[in-house]
Structure 1
Amino acid sequence: MALKFLGIWPNTPDDGSPTIWLDDTTGDLIIQSWKADEATIREAQEVGSVPGHSTDVPPHETVIRLPANMLQFIPRPAGPEAARGFDRKDGNSGNSGT
């Protein structure tokens, strides 16, 4: 795994700020950010995702809140992969659990 620094929250203090890295091997994003509060998690569960998918947050996962101004650091797919919705080097779309 080779991480590449992509960005940190602008005007950040010395520590504890949202930060984004890219795993050059898999194309995954590694994100440090604030934990979502219980109200946000409940609302996300009420909104849901794809039909039939549980909205429970498993013990090995967490919900984070990423400030909108951090979106500038998230890479956008290009080329034929973008048309198919693939954004990972391993060929998984990241949105279907496959």
Structure 2
Amino acid sequence: MALLFIAKDPNTNGTQCPTAWVDDEAQEIVVQGWKAGEALLAQCRESGPIPESEAVVRLPIRMVPALREACDVADRLGVH
């Protein structure tokens, strides 16, 4: 087992939408979200640089339950 699907954004059409997974082998929570625009990136960079190996993504607040579930799944699997 590696990538465990948690949930897609409930307010989208089911394709090309924010999604949450748990990768139990890599011990990571994986998210798909909307790409951050330049204005948001500029605000984020005020806290420090964003390495080329990282990205800023946006998730709607309605995805909080999915992120909580991903955290709960990670806890149950002993992923820390």
**CA–CA distance in structure 2, aligned partners of residues 73 and 24 of structure 1:** 16
Query: When you count strand as a share of all residues, which structure comes out higher?
Result: 2
Tell me the CA shift for residue 59 of structure 1.
1.5
Number of positions where the alignment pairs a residue of Structure 1 with one of Structure 2: 74
Query: When you count helix as a share of all residues, which structure comes out higher?
Result: 2
**CA–CA distance in structure 2, aligned partners of residues 3 and 27 of structure 1:** 10
Give the corresponding residue for 1:68: 61
What is the TM-score normalised by the length of structure 1?
Answer: 0.64
Unaligned runs of 5+ in 1: 49-54, 79-87, 92-98
Which residue identity is paired with 2:52? P
1:44-64 deviation per Cα after TM superposition (whole angstroms, max 9, x unaligned)? 222x1xxxxxx1112121111
List aligned pairs for 1:73-88, cutoff 5 A: 73-74=66-67, 75-76=71-72
Give 3-state SS (helix, strand or coil) of 1:12's partner. Answer: coil
Aligned Cα root-mean-square deviation (Å): 2.1
What is the TM-score normalised by the length of structure 2?
Answer: 0.76
Unaligned runs of 5+ in 2: none
Tell me the CA shift for residue 14 of structure 1.
4.1
Give the corresponding residue for 1:10: 10
- Aligned identity (percent) is 35
- Which ranges of 4 or more aligned residues in structure 1 deviate by more than 6 Å? none
2:8, 2:14 within 8 Å by CA — same for their partners in 1?
no
Question: Which has more radius of gyration?
Answer: 1
